[in-house]
């Protein structure tokens, strides 16, 4: 997904409304600043110097406000231009003191210019206090009445803190939009990871079984055509089931079940010529998430045995206690010559009587290089469980998965 794809119709509509709102605000601010100055030029009784100071000062005030406040876009985390704000507030106060109530709007704009920088409340406090003091001075000097005095004193603080709260709200909205876009991208990445993980697990097992049955059919086709025909028929059934599984995995509906995977494991091991011992508890009472995680463990462990172990015997044992369920897939395959150097020693408790009861230490790999075990570890950790895989003693390999029975309830 590209960044633009995370922007929906609602975001486009909000952007258009925001642009219209900003245009309206700029028009109102421009009118509030320049209208008194233009009107001052038409007054015949006003002193010429005073008239030109108000007009020129209003133009300078409008230019500074546009450059540093209105025309800069949302300030966000930009540094506060203190020098510019001091000049804007000072010029606004001077225009208000000279022009009196007609320039009250300029005082409000000066205070709002300070409040717009919402990264910190200090600019809003500066604008509110200085403009309130200026309004108090003018109210005392001109005696505009109770209502006029309240307007002179409180218009500055109200404008400053209204602008500050609006800025904070806009900052929060922008942060939420960025967060929503990041979450959308993360969801897409997570879905891609799920599909890749499921396809690896599904195709790795199914294609290994198809390969074994094809090899077996090829070996016996001359001496036992009937058996070769049966193997080819089973190969076709496995291929069709694999296609169905892939479609369901891509659609997000498929969850394997432990009983089915135990049956498939026995079938796959028999086809590979590996003797097996499979024992399991009744899987019907297991929670769906736990059953699926153990099913993936059996599938991955069996596939790895057939592909890599060169084992002649495999034991699959599924046991349970009140707190957790344990699945162990062990084989008697020879370890690689450099296995001892590559594996780190890690103590791991082993249930008494289990297939790994001969040792209480498993040399577990510090990191799983294969994507199958890495994906399985992610599934198990997502349920609060543990996974260990490594050589057992001088010969053999053990994959052990422990899943708490209460894991799904705690999520």
Number of domains, the chain: 2
Q: What is the band of 231 on the pLDDT scale with cuts at 50, 70, 90?
A: confident
How does pLDDT run across 360-374, given as a tens digit for each residue? 333 333 333 445 777
- The percentage of the chain sitting over the pLDDT mark of 70, rounded to a whole number, equals 75
Q: What is the band of 328 on the pLDDT scale with cuts at 50, 70, 90?
A: very high
Q: Is pLDDT above 70 for 407?
A: no
Q: In DSSP terms, which residues pair with 400 in a beta bridge?
A: 328, 388
Q: What is the band of 326 on the pLDDT scale with cuts at 50, 70, 90?
A: very high
Q: In DSSP terms, which residues pair with 388 in a beta bridge?
A: 400
Task: Print the domain residue range for 383.
Answer: 274-411
Q: Is residue 333 part of a domain?
A: yes
Q: What is the band of 317 on the pLDDT scale with cuts at 50, 70, 90?
A: very high
Q: In DSSP terms, which residues pair with 363 in a beta bridge?
A: 391
Which of 154, 185, 216 lies at the terminal end of a domain, its last residue?
185
Q: What is the band of 358 on the pLDDT scale with cuts at 50, 70, 90?
A: very low
Average pLDDT over every residue of 316-320: 93
Q: Is residue 235 part of a domain?
A: no
The reported pLDDT for the residue numbered 410 is: 40
Q: Is pLDDT above 80 for 218?
A: yes
How does pLDDT run across 145-163, given as a tens digit for each residue? 888 888 888 888 888 888 8
Indicate whether 292 and 410 sit together in one domain.
yes
Q: Is residue 24 part of a domain?
A: yes
CA 334, CA 50: separation in Å to the nearest integer? 101
Q: Is residue 217 part of a domain?
A: no
Average pLDDT over every residue of 335-359: 40
Q: What is the band of 76 on the pLDDT scale with cuts at 50, 70, 90?
A: low
Indicate whether 169 and 281 sit together in one domain.
no
Say which residue the tokens 């369920």 belong to. Answer: 325
How does pLDDT run across 89-121, given as a tens digit for each residue? 888 888 888 877 777 888 888 888 888 877 778
Q: Identify whether the C-beta of residue 365 lies closer than 8 Å to the C-beta of residue 405.
A: no
CATH of residue 338's domain is: 3.30.565.10
Q: Is pLDDT above 90 for 227?
A: no
Q: Is residue 38 part of a domain?
A: yes
Which of 143, 159, 185 lies at the terminal end of a domain, its last residue?
185
CA 324, CA 321: separation in Å to the nearest integer? 6
Output the CA–CA distances (angstroms, integers) from residue 132 to 62, 144, 152, 192, 346, in the order listed: 21, 15, 7, 58, 71
């Amino acid at each position: 997904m590209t960044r633009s794809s995370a922007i929906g119709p609602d975001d486009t509509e909000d952007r258009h409304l925001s642009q219209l709102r900003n245009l309206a605000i700029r028009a109102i601010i421009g009118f509030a600043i320049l209208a008194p100055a233009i009107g001052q030029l038409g007054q015949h009784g006003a002193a010429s110097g005073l008239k030109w100071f108000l007009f020129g000062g209003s133009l300078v005030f409008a230019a500074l406000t546009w450059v540093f406040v209105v025309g800069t876009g949302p300030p966000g985390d930009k540094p506060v231009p203190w020098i510019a704000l001091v000049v804007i507030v000072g010029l606004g106060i001077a225009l208000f003191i000279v022009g009196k109530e007609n320039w009250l709007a300029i005082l409000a704009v000066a205070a709002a210019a300070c409040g717009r920088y919402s990264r910190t409340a200090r600019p809003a406090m500066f604008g509110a206090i200085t403009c309130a003091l200026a309004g108090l001075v003018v109210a005392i000097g001109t005696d505009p009445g109770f209502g006029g005095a309240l307007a002179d004193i409180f218009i500055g603080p109200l404008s400053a803190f209204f602008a500050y709260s609006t800025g904070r709200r806009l900052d929060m909205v922008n942060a939420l939009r960025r967060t929503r876009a990041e979450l959308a991208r993360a969801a897409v990445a997570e879905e891609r990871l799920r599909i890749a993980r499921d396809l690896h697990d599904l195709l790795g097992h199914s294609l290994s079984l198809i390969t074994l049955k094809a090899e077996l059919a090829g070996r016996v086709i001359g001496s036992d055509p009937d058996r070769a025909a049966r193997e080819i028929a089973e190969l076709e059934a496995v291929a069709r089931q694999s296609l169905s599984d892939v479609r369901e995995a891509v659609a997000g509906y498929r969850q394997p079940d432990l009983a089915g995977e135990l049956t498939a494991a026995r079938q796959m091991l028999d086809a590979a010529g590996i003797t097996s011992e499979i024992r399991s508890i009744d899987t019907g009472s297991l929670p769906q998430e736990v059953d699926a995680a153990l099913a993936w463990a059996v599938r991955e462990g069996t596939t790895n045995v057939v592909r890599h172990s060169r084992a002649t015997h495999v034991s699959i044992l599924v046991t349970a206690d009140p707190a957790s369920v344990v699945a162990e897939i062990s084989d008697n395959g020879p370890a690689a010559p450099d296995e001892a150097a590559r594996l780190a020693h890690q103590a791991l408790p082993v249930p008494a009587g289990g297939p790994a009861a001969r040792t209480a230490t498993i040399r577990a790999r510090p990191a799983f290089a294969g994507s199958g075990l890495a994906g399985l570890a992610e599934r198990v950790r997502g349920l609060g469980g543990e996974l260990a895989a490594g050589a057992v003693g001088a010969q053999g390999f053990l994959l052990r998965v422990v899943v708490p029975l209460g894991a799904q309830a705690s999520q």
